[in-house]
Amino acid sequence: MKLAIGADHGGFDLKSEIVGLLKKIGNIEVIDFGTSGPDSVDYPDYGKKVSEAVSNGQADRGILICGTGIGMSIVANRYPRIRAALCHDHFTAKMSRQHNDANVLVMGERVIGRGVACEIVQTWLDTAFEGGRHQLRLEKIGKIGSKG
């Protein structure tokens, strides 16, 4: 699996922790779009890089981190084929995959602890999309804003 990851300064420390976790898991090629330090940057720039990579197929999934996760969620969901989910716990991570086939996980470093964040990532990676009635709902979502 190819996984794109990005964060602003508010998510830099947690991104570093998550990159380490992903490398330990193995079988995941991590594409790190930055930021590379704690200096103030604009979250839309990093949300764009990860979202474009997932939207165009350069990456299979993505993870975005900022202070609260709200800004990154807004950015990511502006892109075609992106289903970004802001998750704060194990349950929301699981449901985002099972019911929504979320392909971008968003977290807020200032909202959750590192241990919880690592559990969220592991759950999100391990949970499969159930399809069925949920697929029909995703198809409806796909038609919103389009002529189809």
**Tokens 């830099």 sit at which residue?**
12
Provide the 3-class DSSP secondary structure of residue 86.
Answer: strand
Strand order through the sheet with 29-32: 29-32, 2-7, 61-66, 104-108, 84-86
Task: Give me the catalytic one of 88, 99, 118, 134.
Answer: 99
Active-site position among 66, 88, 118, 134 = 66
Residues in the chain: 148
Question: Does residue 88 have an active-site annotation?
Answer: no
Q: Please list the residues that pair with 84 across neighbouring strands.
A: 104
Contacts of 25 (CB under 8 A, 6+ apart): 122, 125
Q: Which two tokens stand for residue 56?
A: 């165009």
Any idea which residues carry the catalytic annotation? 66, 99
